[in-house]
Amino acid sequence: MELDLVIAERKSIRAFKKDPVPRELIEEILQRAIQAPSAMNLQPWEFTVVLGEEKERLSRLLLRSYRERRISCSPGAKGPLPAELSTRGEKSFEAMKPSLDELGLDFEEFINEGSCRFYGAPVAIIICINKIFSHHRYICIGAALGYLVLAAHSLGLGTCPIGLITAYEDDIKDFLHIPDDREIVIGVALGHPDWDSPINRFKNSREPLEQVVRWFD
């Protein structure tokens, strides 16, 4: 698949088939992900792949933690969002709402509980970084994440990056025996998209370039 088509078509998938993903295919996706650029070629990313019953157990653990502690998805901002940014979030909700209404689902519960169970995907990937690195190296993780989701789409799979799980980092690290000196940066749901689900019908829009680019000639 041509790169420009992959970039244009890729979107977050929130309903997956139960079909397992072959390990060789996951390895191919990760092999492409680690081709991402990183400062001084430090390659600070670390991946933990969770499959099968272990993934189901992890999902149950996260759902239990969410229901007990009620930490929800948030924009991760340091204060109230400016109006133009709030509008972008509202557009996403409006795009998703018809599908949620058709399924009889509440937006907040769907997003929060869906994140905790990786939207039913058969594969969960947890991306970590050694705490010795400063927050500036998060950009390297972002680059690898970008390569990962594009690689998955080019191979016919779907993904959804999931940030909420970091709120339950201690539970995940204990369950997966991730060392204390690692930080969980983000999770990724990976699997075969269920294209029959209404929730996969929409694609969020992007702001026009003039809204996000400044030029100096």
- CATH number, domain with residue 195: 3.40.109.10
Q: At residue 2, does pLDDT exceed 90?
A: yes
Q: Could you tell me the pTM of the whole model? A: 0.94
101-154 pLDDT per residue, tens? 999 999 899 999 999 999 999 999 999 999 999 999 999 999 999 999 999 999
The residue type found at 201 is R
Overall residue count recorded for the chain in this entry: 217
Query: Domain for residue 208, yes or no?
Result: no
Token pair 């999902």 is at which residue?
59
34-85 pLDDT per residue, tens? 999 999 999 999 999 999 999 999 999 999 999 999 888 877 767 787 887 8
Query: Domain for residue 100, yes or no?
Result: yes
What is the number of domains present in the chain? 1
Question: How does DSSP classify residue 173?
Answer: H
89 vs 18, which has greater pLDDT?
A: 18
Query: Domain for residue 194, yes or no?
Result: yes
Sequence-distant contacts of 75-80: CB under 8 A, at least 24 apart: 76/163
Cα end-to-end span (Å), the chain: 35
* pLDDT average, residue stretch 88-102: 87
Q: Compute φ and ψ for 9, nearest 5 degrees.
A: -85, -30
Token pair 């204990």 is at which residue?
174
Query: Domain for residue 130, yes or no?
Result: yes
The residue type found at 165 is I
Q: Which contiguous run of DSSP H or E holds residue 141?
A: helix 138-154
Q: At residue 157, does pLDDT exceed 90?
A: yes
**Cβ count within 10 A of residue 71:** 13
163-193 pLDDT per residue, tens? 999 999 999 999 999 999 999 999 999 999 9
When pLDDT is cut at 50, 70 and 90, the band that residue 1 belongs to is confident
Query: Domain for residue 62, yes or no?
Result: yes
Query: Domain for residue 184, yes or no?
Result: yes
| Alpha helices for 1-137 (secondary structure H) | 3-9, 23-33, 52-69, 83-103, 107-116
Q: Compute φ and ψ for 163, nearest 5 degrees.
A: -95, -25
Query: Domain for residue 195, yes or no?
Result: yes
What residue numbers bound the domain in which 131 lies?
3-70+84-201
Q: Which contiguous run of DSSP H or E holds residue 130?
A: strand 123-130
C-alpha distances (whole Å) from 210 to each of 90, 127, 207, 213 are 20, 33, 8, 6
Query: Domain for residue 78, yes or no?
Result: no
